[in-house]
Amino acid sequence: MKKEKKNPAIMVIVTGFLILMQINLSAQSDSLKNYNIDEVIISATRSEKNLWNVGRSVSVISKNDFNNSFYLMPSELLASQEGINIIGAGQNPGALQNIYMRGSQSNHTVIMIDGLRISDPSSVENSIDLSELSFANIQKIELVRGSHSTLYGSSAIGGVINFVTEKNMKPGLNADFNLRTGTFGNGAFDLSQNLLLNYTAYNGFYLSGEIFNANIKGIDATVKRNGVNLFQNYDNDNFDKTDLFGKAGYADNKWDVFISYKRTDQKVDIDDGAFSDDDNYNVEFERNIFNLGASYKLNNKLKFMLSSGYTDMKRFSVDDSSIVDNSGTTDHSYFEGTYDGSVLNNELQANLKFENFSAVIGGGLYTEKMNNKTFFYSGGAFSYQSEQNLDSLNIKSDIKNIFAHADFNGAIISKNLNAFSLGIGARYSSHSTFGGETTFEINPAYKFAPHSLLYFSYATGFNAPSLYRLFSPETDFSSGITRGNKNLKPEYSKSIELGLKQGLGDDLNFTVSIYNTEIDNYIEYVYLWNKDVNISELGNDWMRNDFRGDTYINLGKMRNKGFEITVDYKLNDKISTGGNFTIVDSKVEYLRSAIEENHTKGNYVQSFFFGEFVTEDGISNSMIKRSNTANLFAAYKPIEDLTLRLNVKIVGKKQDVAYDGTLGPYGALGAQNIAGYALFDLSAKYNILQNLSLGLRIENIFDKEYTEVLGYRTRGRGAYFSLRYSLQ
């Protein structure tokens, strides 16, 4: 990577914005505040609640926020929020995008659309690839940080993100059309369109349809190792995506009923791995989401809600005879894989609301299924062919659950205790493989003033092992040990959080939170080695096979702690500024006593991700892909119809995995440092007419070279133009 040159333009632009922020200009009616903390959130307590009354770290991103952000995908917008690291958001569109919320693993965050969990049961971790999400028909995004398994069950250790779709709008015809085009590197080109049509009747019925389409000619995704072009025909890695969404419903003072369907189709060119380009490898992905929601308000004190949804997904990957040298020779191989998964979720809940007491009680059934089938052929002098189909194994799991959560105001005891509140809750989940788990939370808070809240939270959570980790049938021929481990225990977390939400006047808001999370039964992928051979001699005798397979085991504890702060300041009606800052520290403590000898058969255990043989208790240096971050913005409105905005993203140094042949007999993934970086984006929005606006965004304006994932390229300087027409 070339050394970054200091650019005096940075100081000029930043200084210019600082000067603008000190100018006292006449008031306008339009507000530039980054968010409205008086907004209502549902995901935090499964009931409507003002943000100021929620004793947890929560955020609401409105449709106006992401319409004005010019981000390509939701992952980029989420990456600008405190407590969230998303790896892949700055790479080629369509690249794998994993979320790490509050230092937790990518499968420790629940992603939902209208309360329906969206996961990928056919993947190794059962975590969603965020590149499949778009802004199509999204009305707002609700974020709840920290353990929330009491209300949302498995995986809600790092947090919960709920995409809430549009429903009834202004009576009559509503429309929104957005056209975006741009470039972000040599030969790269982006063209995307989004069209929403909604008709809302005066009696409460509504019908919506939306289509999002993106055709992106990407950049070479992989980086040439040490600047050397190892293979011929490095190709642009393209991305095509189409989302179709339809929703019909009825809403009045008592009823809120809807049925919706979403279809996602996308195709992306991928590579063999870090530093390894592939000219004939692509993945097609499709997902169907059916969702039914209904709520009935019996009176001001009692409300019933039903949520029923089904989603199925399929990934189809093909790698056909890739070029392997500069002469154009191919490897004479063909690989084809189909990976299927489905999720069925049904929940019923009742909400009670009294003057100083509210509660939600409910239960449901959550079912996951997976299957995959693969075909591999290798030609040449010696041909080889293999097939695998897991259909006959009927791999699935069920989780039955009941839950309850109650909020008490101190005034229920005495009016003098009106500033105090207490939230308590519990959930019992029964998993079809490993049995029952109970989680609970306690959440006291004290409200000094209408816009001042001090809170504390203690919450437990759990994460069920993925179907792949439980049931993958690959078996080592010498030991008989399977890759899947049916005896895996769920990961179980204990989390504490202390936070403050403070508003000073109408123009300054800030939040502070400190947290510590400990995850027991941490699951890790490991190699197994012959217990009858000294570790120093493993792999030294080519006549002897020392390998005893690879598998998943509970290996110890994961510890996450961190600090988050957000500030939002409106200087006047023309200028606002703010941002967030996150410090996170994650470590894994290996416990020799946690290893289940019945599954490993007493063989040596080598951590794949750090290469260490676990012969005694120890602590890893740090977890990969986590970094301290800061996101800053300044917005200026020189005239009524023009808004200018500067965004700065600062990412601290971190570590990523890199293959190290010196770690153990076969090598393993060691850790390698990645330098921190700062990115500057400029954007402008101009309202031509009441319903028509133009947008311009220049991202990474100084063309900073940086790394998110070792071996993969990030986007350079990009320029995007958008045209939006909105009739609402």
Q: What is the pTM of this model?
A: 0.91
| β-bridge pairing 84-87 and 58-62 | unpaired
For the 8-31+168-727 domain, the top CATH level (class) is mainly beta
* CA dist 375 → 135, 272, 569 (Å): 35, 17, 57
Following DSSP, what letter does each residue of 39-53 receive, concatenated?
Answer: -EESTTTTS-EEGGG
Which H helix or E strand runs over 529?
A: strand 508-529
Domain ranges of the chain: 8-31+168-727
Count of alpha carbons within 13 Å of 558, Cβ hemisphere only? Answer: 23
What per-residue confidence (pLDDT) applies to 233? 58
The CA angle 64-69-72, to the nearest 5 degrees, is: 120
What per-residue confidence (pLDDT) applies to 226? 63
- Cα(186)–Cα(182) distance, rounded to whole angstroms? 12
Residues of the chain under the 70 pLDDT cut = 1-38, 225-234, 323-328, 621-623
Q: Which two tokens stand for residue 454?
A: 């001090």
Residues of the chain above pLDDT 70, percent: 92
Count of alpha carbons within 13 Å of 36, Cβ hemisphere only? Answer: 12
What per-residue confidence (pLDDT) applies to 45? 87
Which H helix or E strand runs over 74?
A: helix 74-78
Alpha helices in 444-515 (DSSP H): 467-471
- Cα(379)–Cα(520) distance, rounded to whole angstroms? 47
Q: Which two tokens stand for residue 523?
A: 């699951």
What per-residue confidence (pLDDT) applies to 11? 43
Q: Which two tokens stand for residue 558?
A: 């994961």
Grouping H, G, I as helix, E, B as strand and the rest as coil, residue 17 is helix
CA dihedral 127, 265, 318, 272 (to 10 degrees): -50
